[in-house]
Homo-oligomer: A and B are copies of this chain.
Amino acid sequence: MYYLGVDLGGTKILTALADEEGNLLERSNVETEAAKGREVIIKNILHSIDNVLDNSGVNRSEIAKIGIGSPGPLNSKTGVIYETANLPWKNVPLTDIIQEKTGLPANLENDANAAARGEKWFGAGRDVDHMIYVTVSTGIGGGIIIDRSILQGKEGAGGEIGHMIINPGGPTCGCGNSGCMEAMASGTAIARMGREALAEDKNGIIAEMSGSDPEKIDAILIANAAKKGDQKAQEIYNTAGYYLGIGMANLINIFNTEKIVFGGGVMKDHDLLNDSFMESLQENALQTSLKQVEICNAELKGDVGVQGAVAVAMEDILGK
């Protein structure tokens, strides 16, 4: 039998066919066309599935299951997407729809949990039972593997590590709260600190690189400024690393996990975070649990979403 993984994103849908070992045999990459609304998005998902089947010559009857990774919040148990920032729909029973239209069983999982399952079974978590996948990009997301199973919670909303409050009264987060890890250590947080630095110093490297335009400041620009030796930019990364260390220390204490696997755009510049992050971890985690954990990078890179969706499809073989 074969498995289908669908990585549903705000701009693209990446669908892949996998064998029983999870090897990706065929892919299709189509536009989501999110702005065109619900029916078009669904049509495009189905189209990407058809592409993969047509190109591979694999028959629909040979597909055991479809796994879908989608932005949330969503209910992985009922297969309903409540709402997503980048897709113009609400309360969509996506699992039911896909099952009905394809005649195949399907599973839905939020994208961070799907990515965690991908890394667990096919990436950096292969050899461990306990693992936390953390993605640091615009936001901070995560998926938590305990005894080889994903932590879903009552209705599949578990794993929201980015909104752990670690600095009460701190900067406001996109979620509306203050001082979440996401507000302290994400790409968005780094950019915010960069804009604050620009407001304070109109003549530094950050001002030069951005043409003094706050809109041009993002985490990458600050990373480049730091690499050029800008002290303020380095401090920003140190601050982000410090708070990321606190967040991870908290997770290490709570989960006694074996591996923390980092993905996401900001972690490409993790050299900049590294010293302050590791210092913060040493300072803030309980030593018993800290000694048992390994910190490493994600292995699946750009494929993590679709490989995660494949892991979701393969639940009956691999476990949750």
Measuring CB to CB, which residues of chain A are less than 8 angstroms from any residue of chain B? 73, 82, 129-130, 144, 146-147, 149, 151-161, 163-168, 175, 177, 242-243, 246, 249-251, 253-258, 283-284, 286, 288-289, 292
Contacts and interface: CB of A to CB of B under 8 A. Distances in A.
Given A129-B154, A159-B254, A160-B289, A168 B166 contact: yes
Contacts of A250: 164-165, 250
A311 to B, nearest CB: 18
Nearest to A152: B256
B167 A168 contact: yes
A129 B243 CA distance: 32
A175 B168 CA distance: 21
A154 B144 CA distance: 13
Contacts of A155: 256, 288, 292
A165 B246 contact: yes
Contacts of A253: 160-161, 163-164
A320 B242 CA distance: 36
A246 B159 CA distance: 17
For chain A, what secondary structure do more than half of its interface residues adopt (helix, strand, loop), or is it mixed? loop
Contact of A158 (B165, B175, B254): B254
Contact of A164 (B159, B243, B254): B254
A125 to B, nearest CB: 13
A157 B286 contact: yes
Contact of A156 (B73, B165, B256): B256
A289 B157 contact: yes
B288 A153 contact: no
A135 B242 CA distance: 29
B168 A258 contact: no
Given A82-B288, A146-B151, A165-B246, 4 more contacts: A130-B154, A144-B254, A146-B153, A167-B167
A82 B256 CA distance: 15
Contacts of A144: 254
Most buried by B among A154, A161, A284: A154
